[in-house]
Chain A
């Protein structure tokens, strides 16, 4: 979609530079003059929000790394020292810990946006796949970051997750030992997790550049799902979307500041204020909220390997989504059936998260008592199983079939027609 460059260097220096390294031209074409559909709504601001949060995480993380000590004997105390003695350490640490949660909140909204508006469809398959790669890298970074404070949940979370790898046949044990750097989660594990936790955000930044590159070839999708056809369909990115994104970013930052300053620990777990102890298992090992749906899928299966495969499959299926959805219609605005299946999918993801946080054997609601007088009813395990079934059915059955049976609504002829209705200029042809 990006047409011929409209950048004109005005000074001798920029002309000189442009002939050698056209970096100003790149910025101009990508973020100033870039033609952007005029009908983007606020769901499209989360890409910018994520870019801001990636920067927040990297900057606060670099400062934290100046004070953090990656050693099993000192890690916990060094984090306390950051909170107590490092100048504004309490702020930097709270921003970093809560920033991870907010990045996931934003990335989930960003992904659901993509699912609803068909952003993964031709010609944006690779853009979507790069996004899934970023998401996986984010989970790896977040998991390793959560281990670093070396609290009880850090340690036991690391224990459970690394042991998942051990479920793989033949190579599982060898890979797990290699990850641990020993025969258990220990100092070697903490050290390498720190090293990788420092590395991954820069890998994410690299893939983000590819993600934006892949975005800027076909250009943005839009809520109506019709491709850009003419000049009337687009606006230059600056100032129209810079100001809209900026507004959305600051609103999101208000929510972020609410947590950082007034509830810095509510998204964490009280047990992580207890230093890691390999001899005492917490009553309830739970991951951070953003991993709970996958934790529920893991526990929904009675077989260990099956659970692990299903959990990885839940993310893996996203890679082939562009080829599973058979509908030619991009936006669910014009897909009367698919939109309801989508709404139900979102609800199921939230329910799976709830299941992940609860004990699987606890009851969602009770139906009566068995012969022994114990309460019987509908357990979280079965809710998780139903949720898991729907999660996979949505991708593997519903989306492939809907393309054949659904009768889409009439779509607007162009973005301009969608926005202006009858006032739109008639197409020339």
Chain B
């Protein structure tokens, strides 16, 4: 019986999203030419740093990044990696970023919790103490954690970028969107609780790049793509070497095979 209920729930879910999708041919995420797409693509370090700034100044108000520690920012392939500091805990930029956060620690000797400056080993603190508090502050919607958001959405980085830029469209005729919901052309169901997060010039980039909405969307998406897959660069480098090794090895084995079988009809 439970199974029937589950199937019914699943069928209902399919039906609901199905009709939603049918009402709007939910726009397919717009393809964007990322530096990290393609088998040997790598992240753009400057874009990662700008994207981190957008995350920190805009997204972090509601969205956590709980799988990441500050030290990850200084890892090989990360936004603030510096070859001079192979141990990211020593990286002064990372230490500075961590120190600007206050982290709850404890209990101390008398059993009290206390706050202290963050260190690179600390995790990014969540903006809310728990999910209930997060929902209460956001009209019942839970802002998802962004640690693996690019992996966790079909469409990946293209979808996240499209979603951030998807507030400019008008809802189709007869499609009602009640406040506080907003219309977003790329969100499944097209009604989203998140307000349009990006406003032209809301971030002053340290490197002087002009903070257009699209620029910020590109940068923060690239940062989140890194956060979801921080080993991408290492993986591709090692993968390239592994493939070269395997091709050479296969070639040697092919000639060995030819040599061993040279006098044997088969």
Contacts and interface: CB of A to CB of B under 8 A. Distances in A.
Nearest to A81: B67
A69 to B, nearest CB: 14
Contacts of A273: 148, 151-152, 228
Contacts of A216: none
Nearest to A37: B266
A271 B236 CA distance: 24
Nearest to A416: B265
Interface stretch (A15-23, A123-131, A244-252, A346-354): A244-252
B250 A39 contact: no
Contacts of B246: 250, 253-254, 257
Contacts of B4: 304
A285 B10 contact: yes
Interface stretch (B94-102, B170-178, B253-261): B253-261
B265 A283 contact: no
B9 A281 contact: yes
B264 A163 contact: no
Given A254-B243, A419-B266, A163 B3 contact: yes
Instruction: Give 6 nearest A-B pairs by CB, closest first.
Output: A261-B239, A273-B152, A163-B3, A247-B253, A90-B231, A273-B151
Contacts of B231: 83-84, 90
Contact of B10 (A264, A281, A420): A281
Interface string A225-260: 000000000010001100110110011011001101
Contact of A270 (B9, B67, B154, B260): B154
Interface string B147-169: 11001111010000000000000
A420 B14 contact: no
Nearest to B245: A257
Nearest to A262: B39
A90 B238 CA distance: 12
A160 interface: yes
Interface in B1-51: 1-4, 6, 9-10, 13-14, 17-18, 39
8 contacts: A83-B231, A166-B3, A243-B253, A243-B261, A262-B39, A264-B235, A270-B151, A359-B14
Interface in B215-266: 228, 230-231, 234-236, 238-240, 242-243, 246-247, 249-250, 253-254, 256-257, 260-261, 264-266
Contact of A254 (B235, B250, B265): B250
Contacts of A285: 10
A232 to B, nearest CB: 10
Given A77-B67, A80-B67, A84-B231, A240 B3 contact: no
A247 B236 contact: no
A81 B238 CA distance: 20
Contacts of A235: 264
A251 B4 CA distance: 46
A159 interface: yes
Contact of B6 (A163, A243, A260): A163
Contacts of A81: 67
Given A167-B3, A283-B14, A239 B147 contact: no
A223 to B, nearest CB: 10
A391 B164 CA distance: 47
A90 to B, nearest CB: 4
Contacts of A166: 1-3
B2 A163 contact: yes
Nearest to A238: B260
A156 B250 CA distance: 41
A239 B260 contact: yes
A308 B242 CA distance: 43
A80 B147 CA distance: 10
A250 B67 CA distance: 36
Contact of A247 (B234, B247, B257): B257
A261 B236 contact: yes
A240 B236 contact: no
B153 A257 contact: no
A71 interface: no
B242 A261 contact: yes
Interface size class of A (residues with CB under 8 A): 35 or more
B6 A281 contact: yes
Interface in A35-51: 38-40
Nearest to B38: A262
Contacts of A250: 246, 249-250, 253
Interface in A66-98: 77, 80-81, 83-84, 90-91, 94
Given A39-B266, A270-B152, A270-B154, A91 B247 contact: no
B235 A282 contact: no
B72 interface: yes
Interface string B126-157: 00000000000000000000011001111010
Interface in B56-102: 67-68, 72
Nearest to B242: A257
A257 B243 contact: yes
A80 B1 CA distance: 35
Contacts of B260: 239-240, 243
B247 A159 contact: no
Contact of B266 (A38, A90, A159, A274): A38
A195 interface: no
Contacts of A274: 152
B67 A84 contact: yes
Contacts of B147: 80
A261 B13 contact: no
A209 to B, nearest CB: 26
A366 interface: no
A160 B253 contact: no
Contacts of A40: 266
A167 to B, nearest CB: 7
Interface in A157-198: 159-160, 163-164, 166-167
A250 B249 CA distance: 7
A193 B199 CA distance: 48
A304 B10 CA distance: 15
Given A91-B238, A166-B2, 16 more contacts: A81-B67, A156-B10, A159-B6, A163-B6, A239-B260, A246-B253, A250-B250, A254-B246, A257-B242, A261-B235, A261-B239, A261-B242, A273-B148, A273-B152, A285-B10, A304-B4
A407 interface: no
Contacts of B257: 243-244, 247
